[in-house]
Amino acid sequence: MSGDAGFFDEMREPDGSVRPAYANYCEWFDDQENKLLRRKHREAETNFRKTGITFNVYGEDDAEERLIPFDMVPRIIDAGEWRRLTRGIEQRVSALNAFMHDLYHRQEIVRAGRLPQSLLRNNEAWLPNMVGFTPPGGVYTHIVGIDLVRTGPDEFFVLEDNARTPSGVSYMLENRETMMAMFPELFLRCPVESVSDYPRRLAKSLAACAPDCAGDKPVVAVLTPGIFNSAYFEHAFLADQMGAELVEGSDLRVVNGRVAMRTTSGYKAIDVIYRRVDDEFLDPLTFNPDSVLGVPGIMDVYRAGGVTIANAPGTGVCDDKAIYSFMPDIVEFYTGEKPLLPNVETWRCADEESLKYVLDNLAELVVKEVHGSGGYGMLVGPASTKKEIEEFRAKLVDNPSNYIAQPTLSLSTCPIFTKKGLAPRHVDLRPFVLVSPDKIDITPGGLTRVALKEGSLVVNSSQGGGTKDTWVLKD
């Protein structure tokens, strides 16, 4: 198997020799019969289908449910690389949390001229209701997913920050469970850090953020929009694994100044709500009055210190791709250090000069909506037709502040299993980070997403991507 020309191959050196991190795996792989591997690949697919690991793809008319494609060749990161990454992730997540506190209090970063006021004034994710309020323990971003891409041996970039409701952790856990069930002998040969205790760590981290009114054993619940949500599998999975209650808005009400859930013996107070409901639908008395997904009055209880909401309302500002372009300044402002993990170069189309450059170079750039996610609403210039580029040009001219642009990165490749053997495909990585008042806890690994189509740079499952198990090797 040879790598794509011009792309960093994570498994093989330019001369074709195997990199040290993959040595044990490749030795094992070369001893396997192709027929056996093909059977195992089919078994993995059957397992995912039985488990119900699906997601919804939203089209123009309706939502279509699909299986998450899983590739059984792991993505392997050595211990030294992981240490460098965790230092950079920890620095960035610390800065994001400090940034959130500042935005809803004195806005020192705006006063210092490091961030334009207009980015908040025109930002739908910034919530005036959070002004002057500090969540229990001072934590805004309880669960964070930092999307990383690699372009060389020591070159990692942050592609985007996910601090509102980062998803995908259930796939990380199921990928590992599937690999251990199919190839137990591999884990004897390769010393891999465990990820299976993530739910326990999540429960512990959330409990540490409970409000002062909580008892010795804080009650944690996962708030889901319901079975029709694209990530419902993950909501149910995490609640089950944490030993927490899975609740919908209709199960909750405000009782004596607390948010309480209906049980067979009456209503029981909840201390921490891990919500997977967007801000807009969280409280019909505060936000969207038509919402039936949230809890009337929950924001009043929250501001009075009667419940912890994870992640805090208003953290969607961190996911804004225009804010992302200021992250090097944000990291330096709050930590006093240069960022250990650099951003991808970004042009804000709201800026006249940047817009001109983007319009002149659309065929070479990737253009994204400021609040976009899931690979929707974006243009990958080199992979687009002239007609698609011209249609996107019209959108840009019509509403430039809704877009940012980035260069087309040379994403690193990892091998996937195909009928013809191993073949390189482009990958990214989403490590998952837990934040409590006294700790930042980074799970060793994360979700590797892979562009299964040859030559494609789009790894999102909604756009034909799949997932891999991510191995961090022990020292």
Per-residue pLDDT of the chain (475 residues; tens, 9 = 90+): 444 557 999 999 999 999 999 999 999 999 999 899 999 988 888 887 777 665 544 344 444 556 778 999 999 999 999 999 999 999 999 999 999 999 999 999 999 999 999 888 878 899 999 999 999 999 999 999 999 999 999 899 999 999 998 989 999 999 999 999 999 999 999 999 999 999 999 999 999 999 999 999 999 999 999 998 888 989 999 999 999 999 999 999 999 999 999 999 999 999 999 999 999 999 999 999 999 999 999 999 999 999 999 999 999 999 998 899 999 999 999 999 999 999 999 999 999 999 999 999 999 999 998 876 655 678 888 888 999 999 999 999 999 988 999 998 889 999 999 988 899 999 999 999 999 999 999 999 999 999 998 888 878 776 678 999 999 999 8
Tokens of 356: 């001109």
Computed from CA positions of residues 78, 83, 84, 89, in that sequence, does the dihedral angle turn out positive or negative? positive
| pLDDT at 54 (0 to 100) | 55
* Region at 234 (left for phi over 0; alpha for psi -120 to 50; beta for the rest): alpha
| pLDDT at 345 (0 to 100) | 93
Tokens of 385: 């037709």
Whether residue 375 contacts residue 460, with contact meaning beta carbons closer than 8 Å, is answered with yes
Strand 272-275 with 220-223, pairing:
parallel
Residue carrying structure tokens 């243009």: 379
User: How far from chain centre, in Å, is Cα 283?
Assistant: 24
Strand 143-152 with 258-263, pairing:
unpaired
How far apart (Å, rounded) are the C-alpha atoms in residues 151 and 6?
10
What's the CA angle centered on 456, arms 452 and 461, to 5 degrees?
50
Sequence-ordered list of residues with C-beta below 8 angstroms from that of 365, at least 6 positions apart, any chain: 347, 358, 379, 381, 405, 406, 407, 408
How far apart (Å, rounded) are the C-alpha atoms in residues 177 and 311?
27
Angle between helices 232-242 and 198-207 (to 10 degrees): 80
**Which amino acid, residue 252?**
L
H helices present in 218-297, as ranges: 232-242
Whether residue 294 contacts residue 301, with contact meaning beta carbons closer than 8 Å, is answered with no
Whether residue 314 contacts residue 120, with contact meaning beta carbons closer than 8 Å, is answered with no
Strands (E), 312-391: 347-348, 365-369, 379-380
Q: How many residues does the chain have?
A: 475
| pLDDT at 374 (0 to 100) | 53
Sequence-ordered list of residues with C-beta below 8 angstroms from that of 464, at least 6 positions apart, any chain: 451, 452, 453, 456, 458
Instruction: Show the domains of the chain with their CATH numbers.
Output: 346-408 (3.30.1490.270)
Nearest to 316 by CA among 447, 124, 160: 124
Tokens of 354: 């940047």
Sequence-ordered list of residues with C-beta below 8 angstroms from that of 417, at least 6 positions apart, any chain: 37, 41, 71, 72, 73
Q: What are phi and psi of 230, to 5 degrees?
A: -60, -25
Read off the pTM: 0.92
Q: What are phi and psi of 276, to 5 degrees?
A: -115, 30
How far apart (Å, rounded) are the C-alpha atoms in residues 186 and 176?
12
How far apart (Å, rounded) are the C-alpha atoms in residues 420 and 363?
33
How far apart (Å, rounded) are the C-alpha atoms in residues 217 and 78?
37
Whether residue 465 contacts residue 72, with contact meaning beta carbons closer than 8 Å, is answered with no
| pLDDT at 59 (0 to 100) | 42
| pLDDT at 58 (0 to 100) | 37
> Using H for helix, E for strand and C for coil, what is the string for 181-223?
HHCHHHHHHCCECCCCCHHHHHHHHHHCCCCCCCCCCCCEEEE
Whether residue 434 contacts residue 205, with contact meaning beta carbons closer than 8 Å, is answered with yes
Question: 352-359 contacts: CB < 8 A, separation 24 or more?
Answer: 354/405, 355/396, 355/400, 358/396, 358/403, 358/405, 359/393, 359/396, 359/397
Tokens of 180: 């251990």
**Which amino acid, residue 431?**
P
| pLDDT at 376 (0 to 100) | 64
